[in-house]
Amino acid sequence: MAVNPLTNWNSSLFSCCDDTQSCCYGFWCCPCLACTVSAGVGESRCLPLCDICGPSITSALGLPLCVPPAALATRVGIRHRYGIMGSYCKDITTSCFCVWCSWCQMHRELKYRKKNTTVVVNMQPGR
């Protein structure tokens, strides 16, 4: 069984100039971008609302920092689906400190993957 090698993200976290459409969309309405990415991976468009409501709930409970659950789960899911190198630690750090850039990067990745789809045909020998 052949295993595909892991790849890098198609663009870096701060590659906003590579796709200004994604980043402008994220800058003016990041919740809209997050909902679009969430729907793009097959999840509910409302999933990113957990990230929007999360900080206010955790600060009301006296917790100073919260990992945005939707951003983290979506990022890990995209990495695993497309065989992108990384680690949970990097995903947590990115989701905590660069959440909007992370959503933009995920949006660029989904656009790239959609445009560059490959079809894998599993040919088995006849019997």
Higher pLDDT, 55 or 77: 77
* Helix or strand run (H / E) with residue 35: helix 30-40
In this prediction, residue 27 carries a pLDDT of 64
Residues 59-117 have pLDDT tens digits of: 677 766 677 888 999 999 999 999 999 999 999 999 888 888 899 899 999 999 988 76
Instruction: Check whether 122 has a pLDDT greater than 50.
Output: no
Number of H helices, E strands in the chain: 6, 0
Q: How many residues does the chain have?
A: 127
